[in-house]
Amino acid sequence: MARSLVNARPIVPRARRGLLLRIVSGFAWALCLSLAAMAPDVLAVLPDGTVTASQAAPMIGILVYHRFAASADDSMTVRVVTFEAQLAFLREHGYRIVPLADIVAWLRDRSATLPPKAVAVTVDDGHRSVYDVMMPIVVRERIPVTLFVYPSAISNAPYALSWDQLRALKATGFFDVQSHTWWHPNFDVEERRRSPDAFRRFATTQFTHSRDLIEREVGGHVDMIAWPFGIHDDELVELAQSAGYVAGVTIEGRRLRRSDALLSLPRFLMVDGCTPRVLGRLLGETETRPPADGERQ
């Protein structure tokens, strides 16, 4: 019998959840454009001229980045010039960048409110470019960011942040540090290697050990998780809930709805091909400025 889910919203099987990231690795820009083309119009007016309830609700998007650099040498790196242009677009079009925790609170409490055009910025994996490249921009712009890190890499892998750097990021007041599991496993693969009971123990350890290490080393309260490769299902959601997580984020590319399951929240994967014009399409803008000469649409 299938286990009950948050908000009783069915979750797509794990294998399908991992598909998007595999596509993006090879076709990042094309995927970004495809998602933009598929983004539903925000303006929805009935034939009699009345406005639907969805139009009155806030337009909410969650963005996920991975790493930053002067040049985009791989599909997951966003150039500084692209990131700056995206932030400028959000500012010029009336978006308010809010903490992801505020969006979660809005989902949990029907009396909570958000700005009409709210966006959350998240970064997965804990790459050192968050400290070297992103932090100065975040501090200058004074925008909240939620980091999802897997502690096995911290102060260990050459590409990753150190615990000291994470503490420094948190000390700015703009970075919240949350869990990306202990070592970013592929849950599909790990399930095939283990018995059902052993898999449940493995997953629970991924959730609890990551939470405990982050809270011990950085401080704060860890109750949000980014699913590695976007892979999750009913069983994993229930185990994460039992481990104390109240919200989880995926890489399903669409805007957020208030009916979304708390542990299956969609995010737009940001790649360097997501120009301001494309970002506007993803967020549901019906009109964006014409591209400048030589700019990709």
| pLDDT tens-place string over residues 251-284 | 999 999 999 999 999 999 999 999 999 999 999 9
* Secondary structure (3-state) at 79: strand
Separation CA 195–CA 248 (nearest Å): 25
Separation CA 275–CA 253 (nearest Å): 16
What is the rounded average pLDDT for all residues in the chain? 85
CB burial string 233-246: b at 16+ within 10 A, e below: bebbbbbbbebebb
- Does this model's pTM top 0.85? My answer is no
Identify the pLDDT of residue 286.
76
Q: What is the phi/psi pair of residue 251, to 5°? A: -125, 30
More confident position, 109 or 31: 109
Separation CA 171–CA 67 (nearest Å): 20
| pLDDT tens-place string over residues 79-126 | 999 999 999 999 999 999 999 999 999 999 999 999 999 999 999 999
Res. 183: pLDDT tops 70: yes
Fold classification of 11-41+59-283 is TIM Barrel (3.20.20)
Domain ranges of the chain: 11-41+59-283
Q: Which two tokens stand for residue 265?
A: 């929240």
Give residues with Cβ within 8 angstroms of 133, minimum separation 6.
68, 69, 80
Contact 248, 227 (CB under 8 A): yes
In sign, the C-alpha dihedral spanning 24, 26, 225, 85 is: negative
